[in-house]
């Protein structure tokens, strides 16, 4: 990183920086260092001198690339990244960004025709083979059981018929509102007078998907292992503190695990569901977060921890959710980095896409056969659609922004989700999908819904191979 860029990054964060710190960042060569320094500064610091940079003196004398250099690099979802826009047009721009980005991912596989050229009167493409890329407006089933999907591109709307007798019809039944698909098929013959039928008979369809050529690149740097967990729910009377203590002890005995990623719902929150106060042992949000900070302080000191928010945390519910604010970090140590939901963190060049997973509720509702018992299927659905929360207007509120932050722009090495409290690990086209369990025993809501959670489990991934092991700390 060039020195000028280093100074600029500090300025962007509202900080002046001492030349020695600039040299230190420049020499370290690790791009995560600068973000680590900014995120770990004590309150009220406006000038960053060597004194504020923990471990800097030791690092400069022994030249070891340890300590701060191992701070995860936040590639997306850094503090302040998602700012709500009041401009109502921003919603349109966000969906246009979704269409353009996902359409671009599919253009190697088909050449789309503008829908307007297919639907205009006298279209020369009537009764011909065509390709289109569109965002799904609506889905329905015809009287004969075929799937009718209306799609739109920036030029118009058209209906696509998926014949129930064709191979691959089961995938067509999983087409979701607001996802972007590519279709190859035949435009129906024109009606009398050259009027377009406005219908495509689909032969095949595509999703942006993970390329078949995707492979995992082993990391650079020291060997590292990361523990993935989610949904700690501190403050609830079902939080499994004894199990957490066993996990903490295990972490002390396994120093090779040097990262801990927590994917939201670190606290149970306040007023999240009716009569929640009757199920809380810690009745204020500040004290709940204080307790989380204390529990994390009991973890080994070498550990780097990343915390993202979930729908129980004290932040805006609309996604992307901002980082857990400063006012709740009173007891957290400097080895904890806070990210938005979703976020991409890189540890020695291995990228993990962290997403709490609120949209899993919506995807289970819309994908035939999907269930809470198999969140792995939902992670696969997200990767295929290259989108974390494709369906708009259901239970997952989405923030209006110029860019669609829920797009999976870059193929991650690991997709880390949570929310449903059931652990499952998949490998889809070389991407490791980990839905972490919970640190809460079965809740009254889960009892009503007949959901059996996976409590007190950590999934530990070896970043040099992406191999993993599950460890249970329930007893």
By beta-carbon proximity to Fe ion, the closer residue of 178 and 265 is: 265
Distances (CA, A) of 199 to 72, 123, 160, 186: 50, 12, 6, 9
The 63-102 contact track toward Fe ion, x by CB under 5 A, reads ----------------------------------------
By beta-carbon proximity to Fe ion, the closer residue of 358 and 385 is: 358
Residue with tokens 């007949």: 450
Contact criterion met (CB below 8 Å) for 257 and 471 = no
| DSSP conformation letters of 342-377 | SEEEEETTEEEEE---TTHHHHHHHSTT--TT-HHH
Closest separation in Å from C-beta 312 to Fe ion: 6
Closest separation in Å from C-beta 311 to Fe ion: 7
For residue 195, the SS3 value is: strand
Distances (CA, A) of 147 to 165, 191, 363: 11, 22, 18
User: Whose CA is closest to 222, among 183, 274, 257, 260?
Assistant: 257
268 binds Fe ion (CB under 5 A): no
Question: In sequence order, what are the residues at sequence separation of 6 or more whose Cβ sits closer than 8 angstroms to the Cβ of residue 397?
Answer: 317, 318, 319
Burial of 25 from C-beta contacts in 10 A (0-12 / 13-18 / 19+): buried
By beta-carbon proximity to Fe ion, the closer residue of 231 and 413 is: 231
By beta-carbon proximity to Fe ion, the closer residue of 130 and 420 is: 420
Closest separation in Å from C-beta 81 to Fe ion: 23
By beta-carbon proximity to Fe ion, the closer residue of 231 and 362 is: 231
Closest separation in Å from C-beta 226 to Fe ion: 20
- Which H or E run includes 150? strand 147-153
By beta-carbon proximity to Fe ion, the closer residue of 179 and 265 is: 265
Contact criterion met (CB below 8 Å) for 416 and 362 = no
CA–CA distance, 330 with 185 (Å, rounded to integer): 59
Closest separation in Å from C-beta 454 to Fe ion: 12
Closest separation in Å from C-beta 236 to Fe ion: 10
263 binds Fe ion (CB under 5 A): no
By beta-carbon proximity to Fe ion, the closer residue of 265 and 457 is: 265
Contact criterion met (CB below 8 Å) for 418 and 435 = yes
By beta-carbon proximity to Fe ion, the closer residue of 307 and 347 is: 307
Closest separation in Å from C-beta 232 to Fe ion: 8
The 213-232 contact track toward Fe ion, x by CB under 5 A, reads ------------------x-
By beta-carbon proximity to Fe ion, the closer residue of 78 and 419 is: 419
User: Beta strand 424-428 with 431-435: parallel, antiparallel or unpaired?
Assistant: antiparallel
By beta-carbon proximity to Fe ion, the closer residue of 149 and 364 is: 364
Piece of the chain touching Fe ion by CB under 5 A; list 87-95, 111-119, 216-224, 260-268: 260-268
Contact criterion met (CB below 8 Å) for 362 and 389 = yes
265 binds Fe ion (CB under 5 A): yes
Closest separation in Å from C-beta 315 to Fe ion: 14
User: Whose CA is closest to 262, among 273, 251, 276?
Assistant: 251
Piece of the chain touching Fe ion by CB under 5 A; list 178-186, 194-202, 259-267, 342-350: 259-267
Piece of the chain touching Fe ion by CB under 5 A; list 34-42, 207-215, 218-226, 264-272: 264-272
By beta-carbon proximity to Fe ion, the closer residue of 229 and 401 is: 229
Contact criterion met (CB below 8 Å) for 332 and 345 = no
Question: In sequence order, what are the residues at sequence separation of 6 or more whose Cβ sits closer than 8 angstroms to the Cβ of residue 18?
Answer: 47, 48, 49, 50
Tell me, by CB under 5 A, how many residues bind Fe ion: 2
Closest separation in Å from C-beta 421 to Fe ion: 6
CA–CA distance, 69 with 27 (Å, rounded to integer): 11
Closest separation in Å from C-beta 420 to Fe ion: 8
DSSP 398: B
By beta-carbon proximity to Fe ion, the closer residue of 231 and 290 is: 231
For residue 253, the SS3 value is: helix
Phi-psi label, residue 154: left if phi above 0, alpha if psi -120 to 50, beta otherwise? alpha
Piece of the chain touching Fe ion by CB under 5 A; list 33-41, 96-104, 257-265, 365-373: 257-265
CA–CA distance, 314 with 141 (Å, rounded to integer): 41
By beta-carbon proximity to Fe ion, the closer residue of 134 and 309 is: 309
Contact criterion met (CB below 8 Å) for 24 and 53 = yes
Closest separation in Å from C-beta 387 to Fe ion: 22
Closest separation in Å from C-beta 268 to Fe ion: 8
Closest separation in Å from C-beta 438 to Fe ion: 6
Interface contacts to Fe ion, rule CB under 5 A: 231, 265
């Amino acid at each position: 990183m060039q020195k000028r860029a280093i100074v600029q990054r500090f300025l962007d964060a509202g900080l002046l920086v001492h030349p020695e710190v600039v040299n230190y960042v420049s020499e370290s060569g690790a791009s995560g260092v600068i973000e680590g320094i900014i995120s770990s500064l004590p309150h009220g610091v406006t000038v960053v001198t060597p004194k504020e940079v923990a471990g800097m003196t030791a690092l400069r004398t022994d030249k070891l690339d340890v300590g701060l250099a191992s701070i995860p690099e936040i590639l997306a979802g850094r503090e302040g990244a998602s700012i709500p826009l009041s401009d109502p047009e921003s919603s349109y721009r966000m969906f246009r960004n979704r269409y353009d980005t996902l359409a671009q991912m599919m253009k190697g596989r088909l050449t789309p025709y503008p829908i307007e050229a297919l639907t205009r009167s006298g279209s020369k493409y009537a009764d011909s083979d065509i390709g289109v890329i569109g965002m799904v407006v609506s889905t329905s089933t015809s009287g004969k059981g075929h799937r009718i999907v209306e799609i739109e591109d920036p030029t118009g709307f058209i209906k696509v018929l998926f014949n129930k007798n064709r191979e691959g019809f089961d995938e067509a039944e999983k087409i979701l509102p607001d996802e972007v698909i590519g279709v190859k098929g035949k435009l129906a013959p024109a009606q009398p007078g050259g009027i377009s039928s406005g219908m495509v008979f689909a032969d095949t369809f595509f999703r942006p998907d993970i390329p078949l050529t995707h492979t995992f690149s082993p990391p650079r740097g020291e060997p590292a292992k990361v523990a993935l967990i989610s949904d700690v729910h501190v403050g609830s009377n079902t939080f499994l503190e004894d199990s957490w203590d066993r996990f903490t002890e295990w972490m002390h005995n396994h120093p090779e695990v040097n990262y801990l990623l927590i994917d939201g719902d670190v606290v149970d929150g306040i007023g999240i569901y009716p009569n929640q106060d009757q199920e809380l042992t810690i009745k204020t949000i500040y004290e709940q977060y204080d307790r989380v900070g204390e529990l994390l302080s009991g973890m080994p000191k070498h550990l780097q921890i990343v915390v993202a928010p979930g729908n129980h945390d004290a932040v805006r519910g609309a996604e992307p959710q901002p980082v857990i604010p400063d006012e709740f970090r009173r007891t957290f140590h400097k080895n904890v980095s806070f990210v938005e939901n979703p976020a991409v963190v890189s540890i020695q060049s291995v990228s993990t896409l962290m997403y709490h997973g609120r949209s899993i509720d919506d995807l289970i509702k819309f994908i035939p056969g999907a269930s809470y018992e198999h969140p792995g299927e939902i992670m696969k659905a997200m990767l295929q659609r290259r989108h974390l929360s494709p369906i708009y207007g259901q239970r997952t509120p989405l923030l209006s922004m110029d860019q669609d932050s829920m797009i999976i722009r870059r193929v991650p090495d690991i997709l880390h989700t949570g929310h449903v409290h059931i652990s499952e690990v998949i490998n889809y086209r070389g991407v490791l999908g980990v839905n972490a369990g919970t640190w809460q025993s079965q809740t009254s809501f889960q009892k009503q819904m007949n959901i059996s959670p996976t409590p007190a489990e950590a999934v530990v991934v070896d970043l040099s191979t992406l191999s993993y092991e599950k460890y249970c700390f329930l007893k």
